[in-house]
Structure formats: C-alpha cells, structure tokens
Structure 1
C-alpha cells in the first residue's frame, strides 16, 4: 500500500480500492451487513460502479432480497455489459426464481463474451434441464466437462442423458465416474440411482460398500432408506433413516421420509425423530419448523403451536419460525397476532414469496383486497409463474369486483373434459379402465393419506406414476398424451396471460400419482404449486350424487380460506370413468365427500411446458 507524501491528500483511486477490498473481505467472511453498508457508502461516492454493484448484488442475494439483488446486477451490467461472471451470477438468481428463459439468455450472453467459462456452460445445462430440453442440456454439459471435468458437472450430464431417455449411456457414464472417483460419495450414489430401477440389489450392494468407507454416512444411509422405500421394504427403510439421523440429526430429508412412513402406517413413533434431534441440537430452528409442519399436517394443531412458541424462545426469532407460528394462529382464527408475526418475518426476508402469499391470505380474510394485491404483486416480481400467487390474485380480484378475475379464470376456455381414447388391444375405454382399476391398488402400500396433501380418508402412491414401466401405465400415459394435444391446440394466444403466455405444444409431466378415496373421503380445496396445467383422470367411481348433493363431484373456484358467504363455487363436474378434466394448476379445486364401499380411483398429473 502506498503512502501519500506529507501534506498531500491520499490518492482517491487508492482509497476507493482499499475500501472496496474491505467490503469484499467482509462479504467473504460472511459479514453481509458490513459488506452491504460499505458498498452503499462507496456507491454514494461513485454511483453505479460495476464492481460495487456486483458485490452489492451478491450480498443482497445472500440475504434473500431477490428484487434488490436483481436491480444491482442490472446496474452493474449497465455500467459494463461485458462481464460474463456477472451475467452468470444473474442467471443463478433468475433460475432460483424459475425465470428459466431469462436465465438462459443471460448465460448465452456470458458464453458469447467468454466461450471458455465452464460454469456458464454448466449452469446453462442445468437451465436446459429445468426447461426439459435434455438434448440441449447434453450438448452444454459436454462442453462444460471438456472445460472442467469435475465430478459434479459429469453427474449433471448423467441426469441429462437419463432425461433424454438414453438410460444405457447414463448408466455407463455413472459407472465410469464412480470408477474414477471411488471415494466420492456423490459419485457412487449417482451410480446406484442409475441401477436401482432395473437392478435394486446391485444398487444396494454399491451403497453398502460405500457405507464402509465414506465420511458421509448419513447421506448414504438416507439413500439406502429411499431405495428400501421404493421397493416397499418399509421396516428396513425405517432402520436406515434412523441410522442417518443418528449420524446427522439435522438431515431434514431423512426426518421427512421417516415420519411420512410412520404417519401412513399409524405408528406411534411419528415425530419422535424430531424430538430426539431437538434434544441434541436445541438451537436448530429448521428442526422445530419442520416438526411443527408435520404436526400441523397431522391435525395436531395445539402441539404445533406449542412447539413453535418454544422454538422462538429457545432458538430466537428466526423468520421461518415467526412465519410458522403466524400460519398456525391464522388457522385457529386469530387475525391479530399473525399480522405482527408476519411483519417481523417480512422485515427479515421481504422477498420471501411464501411470506407474501400468507400476508395476502390474511388481507383477503380481513377484506383488504388492495393490500393483498400489493403483497401478491411483490411476490409475482420475484416468481412470475408461481401458481399460488396467481390463485390468490384471482380471489382478491373477484372479491374486489375486478374484471381481471374473469380474464384470469376463464373457465369456459380453460376447464375442459375429455373421454380418454381406448389403447390398442382393448375393446373400449371402459374395459381399459376396469383393468387399471384392478392394477392400481397393488401400488398402494400406505394405510392412510400422506402428510401435507389434499387427500382425506384415502391413500396416494409415493412414486411418479408415469415413470412406472407397466404396460397399463404406459397405455394410460399415451391416452392422456392424445387428449392433451387436443386441449393445447384449442388454446388461444395471449402473451399477457399467465397461462396462455406459456403455451407450448411440447410438454412434460412434472408429477403423476394414483389416489384411492374410501367412504367419507374427499379432497380439500387446493391448487397445484408445481404445475402449469393439471389433469385428473377418472379410473373407477362410486355411485355419485345428483345436482343437489353432488357426492363425489369435483368443484372449482371455492378456496381453502374459509370465507363463508364470500366463497364461490364457479363450476362443478360430475365425472365418469374414462374421463379426464384439464385445468390450469392455479385453479382452486376440491371434491365433495361421498359415502360408499366402492372406492373413488383417480390418476391426477401436473404438466409443464417444455
């Protein structure tokens, strides 16, 4: 560091550089508040400096303030557009907000500026996977591997090959990676995943061998537990999930998987893993948050509230704990305390979409539709395609008398019923449905509904159903594909509409499952957060009610908010076996309960544009 001669002021450029290095050092040691404060002071002296704005963007991003981060990234690029690293970091932010096309454009620009930037090729490959473009992902990830043959990049290439249907190539590459990196737990687990569908015993042997040498025993035990769950060896799965948590009590994925089994088997050990982990790590906020969520889903409201209140006193005012307690009190009819708790949570994470949605929920209940819309507009700026945001916007607009409600929820155009075509080899759709109705129950191993789903008094399969290679499931998927193409072809064009604007002829299934409702069963009102388009296929039905009772029918428009006379059922459909109903994933829907010894069997699925 140079020192100015006596009587001469310090060199301004050197002063600026030194202050910037101090800000960068604060960022690198995790002192984000100091880094941000230093950047803001630098920005006041020299506005819109590219490096300062970039560092400010990274600090905002780490703090979860997505909107401020994006603004700073774009100010940095406005000051100097030729920054491939900034473009790549902006793309990461956009990808996390599910703005995949914008992320891809940013990465394409980064690669144009620096063709040898391996991370940009890698991230572009991940975005292509997000967009369900596996062929493009393969090309991009192969280029990334040429530039930087890290195991992590190669493992992403395995995923791309599998997504493209090149299962043998994916398996061969996974074998090759594991052979070159036998001590890399991620590499061996990737290899095991490629083998577990066709050769589960081989996959298990790989994981058991890895267990003898790895330092990451918890993750490997969890992986074995997942394999055992897939093969319906649930007692063995329990043992491995418990072993994972003994090694790492903060492994939330293992807690969730273990307690899902306990819940569906009506096992008294439900929740015990969380209690044991909290005893070992009493200041770990995620344990309390997830335990309370499990209790709430199980209907144990008092216990959930007590856990959250205890957590805040023991672990501090974590924003997720504050939000969880707010939601819990809101469910119990307290409209005052939740507002204070949500305000505190939002002050820590103003761009958290979940927090914004639940603030809007509270506003809608209280009749402040303008405030609800402000929260939802903020959430939409972070995640433009979030289905829950649009679902709640539709409610706020309807209750405020805003005609945008009818534009958004265009039931006449968007809600359509079709009869599934009969696959080759069947005498008709009804015969096909009867065979499916005989097969699907064999996939149900649980005793009751899953946690945190809309199913009441029924069961739901674990696996992605359309990933099952059984000929009946393959035939069902082909039938759905046929009517899906017909549905898409009839949609109008409208780039301003959140559903029509995403219309593509190429699509893929993001989820599919089998549901069996027993007597007294129904679906609570809900939306599908993970989809764009949803479809319900009716396989077998009990005797349904008439226009008066509507037992077993599906309804649209009524929410889960319990708004009393402000609720509105916009449409009802009396389904029949062999029919399917398409609707946007943001449409509120549920079913009327029924009483019959004949189960109600459906196969819902979610679809995204490719």
Structure 2
C-alpha cells in the first residue's frame, strides 16, 4: 500500500470518501510551499463536497504559484465555470491554451465557459474541437446535442451528434439514454420508450437501461412491461436506492401503494438523505393513509410565501423587477427547454446565476437572504428530513431562470439534489392567474405519473411579481398550464444546509 499521503487522498476521492480526502489534503494545501498536486486535489475534494467558492481560492493560489502550468489554469477555468463565472473562465482557459493545453477535457471546459459567457457560436465550436479529440466521449456529445436542441429545436441535428459518438465507439447505454430524453423533449416519447425497450432487451445486464425502460413504459401506460423491467433491475442491483425508487413508482401505478412504501422505506435505510426516495415515500404514504405523509407535507410549516423588499439602491420593487427582467432576458439565449428538465414551451438558463456579473441578478441573492433565513427559523424543530438537517445556515447549490411562453408549464417534479427549493416570480401571466383553473399558479402534491388511487394537487400559491415561494426539495410542485398570450419569468434555486 502506498505511503504517499496524496496517493492515499486520491484513493479516498476515487471511492467517494470526501471527508477522508479533505482531512489529508487540507493541511498539505494550506502550507505556504504546497505542491501543485496538493492544491489541485484539495480543490477537487472541496468541489465534490459542494464547497466551490473555497475550492476557487486554492485554484487561484495554484495559478499564482505555478503561473506557467497549463493544468493550473485549466483547473481554475473549470472551477470558475462551475460557479457560473463564464467570462472569467474563458480568459483562464485561454491562458491554459497558451501554455500548451489542448486536450478534449480542456476544450470541454471552454465549451461550457463560452456558453456561460453567452457566446453560443464559440461554445459550439469548442464542443466540435472536443469531439475531434475524443469522438466517443459521451458526456460531451450529450451536452452538445442538448445545446443544438435548445438553440434550434433541431432534433435531427442533435440526434446526429449522438449517432456520431456511437459510431466512434462510445458506450451505447448513456447514448441511448440521452437520445430517449431528446425524443421526449421533442414531443416523441413513444419513440423514446420503444428505443429503451429495445435497448433493455439487448442489454439485460444494465440496471440503468432497465430502469429507464421501466419508467418510459410506465409513462406510456405499459404497466406490465414497466413492472418486468423494474424487477429485472432489482435482480441486478437489489440494494440500489435508484432501483428501489423505480419499483416504488411502478407499484404506485399498479395500485400497490403498500409495496411502494415498503420499497421506498428500504431505500431510505440505505440512503437516508435521498430526496427522490423521500418524495416517493411521501406519495405512497398518502395513498395508504400512513402518518408519514402529514409529517412530510406540512404545508403550513414547510411552504413559505415571502414578498421581497426592494434591494438596496432601488427606488421601488417595480423599478428593481424591471431591471431584473432586462438582465434575465439578456441571458435567456435558448429557444427550447433542456431535454432533461421539467419545463415545456419555454427556455431555461444553463449556468449558475450566483456567478452572474449582472448587478440586478447579484442584488437578487442579497434580497432573498433574509426570507430564506426567516423560513429556516420558522419551520422549527422536527425529525423530518428537512428540519432535522437545519444548521442555521445555508448555501445556494444551484440557481437558474425559466421563461415560459404562452401555453408553457412545469411538469410536476421535485429536486433530488436540493434541501429547500424555490420559485421567485419576476413576471407573471396576470390575466391567466385570475382564471377559475388557477392557470399559471404553482401547485403542490400532485405526482407527475399515474398513481392508483389518483392523487391530485392539494395546495396552490398564486404567483405575484416579487414573490418568493420556499418549500422542501422532495415536495411535488408544478405549474398549472396557462393559455393566455402572456409569458412567465422566474428564478429558481436549491439551497442546502451549510
């Protein structure tokens, strides 16, 4: 066994043992004479723990100490890109290229940086450079295909990117999963379901394919097929939290909520903070009348509605929202929704808004700090998966904006990576909001897939410009579709305990 502490840290990183890795890399990276590898590895461990701002400090130290290292500049660019600081990431990646860096990973960093900086033409060129160097790289092919779809709504061209990666020898499973998502985004879910069914027959030992085929079959009403695929996945990976989650979904559709709840509970024994398992456990508990549901869906305590005050420097809320609208419109560069997201008939920004250099967007995160802290305090103590994780502080884990066209909506969904999730309304379809159907309102409690018994929404909140709605990340939420000739502009984010 190696005695080099950084080799030991690398082994911990590879195994996902972040705390152990940080315990080794921290003291080494803090030294004034820290080697480049220690700085880089400590940054990697911090980013794995979600502490990106801290990681940035060590990447900046590496650049200061090893200014001629293309790797140091690449790492800095990657972290800046992760933080949504696209323009700075482009500059850092340019410095890396000047120092001889020219690999596929670096061009991938540049592609994402250019997209975050708002230059989609150069982003596409960088994706092409990446795929020249690594034509079978699935992650890049899927990202680039999604950019093509979002920019132009061109399913054939997006699909061609995936096909070229397949012909270059890319592993078939992730390519097929990406292609099925594209079909669904383009309004052809039956084609995606058929593709996944064929893949599941040809790759019977791949649990991810079996689960995806199960879900696609369920969404198309092919319930016997969905159960068979989910059970096949369980045979392959009986203690996989994702497999148990998929079985819970299928059993709810089959009218077996008791079995669904049992599978979700088993998954939570293995992964007690899994927000998706909590979401489906709550759904199954509601169906069988288990008290777990009322604990997890305490709307009075857990759903908070806050109307923000104008940020400092703005004469009125209307003046602020007008500037925020203009800033968001400048960064909504796409015409179609991402293939793997919940919205339909609209666009979504694709990088972290916390890194934006737009003053109105920066002011937003200052304006919501007090409501978030108020909500955390207001929830009180509890043993549920929200209140038991309270630390008194938080950090924004992801933030984005959605712009819905007339007819647009969010499918009911939850946020598996969050703790508290949100909707902040910048511009609302006011005529629609007054309709008897509550068009454009945010609704809670309705799962997106078939359940027996049917479980309709139980709680609605009326949007209003300047209104922030906070709720647990595992809680089902969606938008009632609106049909008026108006649009809806929002910011959403996930917060996690800090």
TM-score bracket for the superposition, by shorter chain length: 0.7 to 0.9
Mark the CA change 1:314 to 1:259 in structure 2 (over 3 Å): closer, same or farther.
Answer: same
Q: 1:243 aligns with which of 123, 129, 134?
A: 129
**Is 1:525–1:558's contact at 8 Å kept on the other side of the alignment?**
yes
Paired residue total: 486
Mark the CA change 1:350 to 1:250 in structure 2 (over 3 Å): closer, same or farther.
Answer: farther
SS across alignment from 1:228? helix
Report which of the two structures shows the higher radius of gyration computed on alpha carbons.
Answer: 1
1:500 aligns with 2:402: no
> What residue is the counterpart of 2:215 in the other structure?
327
State how 1:120-269 maps to structure 2 within 5 Å: 121-122=23-24, 141-142=29-30, 149-150=37-38, 152-153=40-41, 155-156=43-44, 163-164=52-53, 170-177=59-66, 179=68, 181-182=69-70, 185=71, 187-193=72-78, 197=86, 199=88, 202-209=91-98, 217-265=103-151, 266-267=153-154, 268-269=156-157
> What residue is the counterpart of 2:292 in the other structure?
404
> What residue is the counterpart of 1:539 in the other structure?
426
Q: 2:463 aligns with which of 559, 575, 579?
A: 575
CA RMSD of superposed structures (Å): 3.3
SS across alignment from 1:530? coil
Task: Give TM-score, length-normalised by structure 2.
Answer: 0.87
Mark the CA change 1:378 to 1:298 in structure 2 (over 3 Å): closer, same or farther.
Answer: farther
**Is 1:297–1:451's contact at 8 Å kept on the other side of the alignment?**
yes
1:440 aligns with 2:328: yes
How far apart, in 2, do the equivalents of 1:343 and 1:588 lie? Answer: 25
Q: 1:527 aligns with which of 403, 406, 414?
A: 414
How far apart, in 1, do the equivalents of 2:59 and 2:35 lie? Answer: 20
**Is 2:13–2:45's contact at 8 Å kept on the other side of the alignment?**
no
TM-superposed deviation, 1:524: 0.8
**Is 1:357–1:379's contact at 8 Å kept on the other side of the alignment?**
yes
TM-superposed deviation, 1:587: 1.0
TM-superposed deviation, 1:240: 2.4
> What residue is the counterpart of 2:265 in the other structure?
377
**Is 2:60–2:76's contact at 8 Å kept on the other side of the alignment?**
yes
**Is 1:142–1:157's contact at 8 Å kept on the other side of the alignment?**
no
SS across alignment from 2:482? coil
1:593 aligns with 2:481: yes
Gaps of at least 5 residues in structure 2 are none
How far apart, in 1, do the equivalents of 2:46 and 2:289 lie? Answer: 51
**Is 1:518–1:596's contact at 8 Å kept on the other side of the alignment?**
no
Bigger mean CA deviation after superposition, 364-373 or 276-285: 276-285
**Is 1:218–1:247's contact at 8 Å kept on the other side of the alignment?**
yes
State how 1:372-521 maps to structure 2 within 5 Å: 372-494=260-382, 496-521=383-408
State how 1:34-73 maps to structure 2 within 5 Å: none
SS across alignment from 1:566? coil
How far apart, in 2, do the equivalents of 1:348 and 1:358 lie? Answer: 13
Mark the CA change 1:368 to 1:90 in structure 2 (over 3 Å): closer, same or farther.
Answer: farther
How far apart, in 2, do the equivalents of 1:258 and 1:280 lie? Answer: 16
TM-superposed deviation, 1:278: 1.9
1:358 aligns with 2:246: yes
TM-superposed deviation, 1:139: 5.4
Mark the CA change 1:93 to 1:335 in structure 2 (over 3 Å): closer, same or farther.
Answer: farther
Gaps of at least 5 residues in structure 1 are 1-23, 25-83, 97-102, 108-118, 126-137
TM-superposed deviation, 1:535: 1.8
Task: Give TM-score, length-normalised by structure 1.
Answer: 0.72
SS across alignment from 1:422? coil
Residues 518-573 of structure 1, C-alpha deviations (whole Å, 9 max, x = no match)? 11111111111111011211111122333622111111111101337621221111
**Is 1:507–1:609's contact at 8 Å kept on the other side of the alignment?**
yes
**Is 2:86–2:117's contact at 8 Å kept on the other side of the alignment?**
no
How far apart, in 2, do the equivalents of 1:500 and 1:213 lie? Answer: 47
TM-superposed deviation, 1:430: 2.7
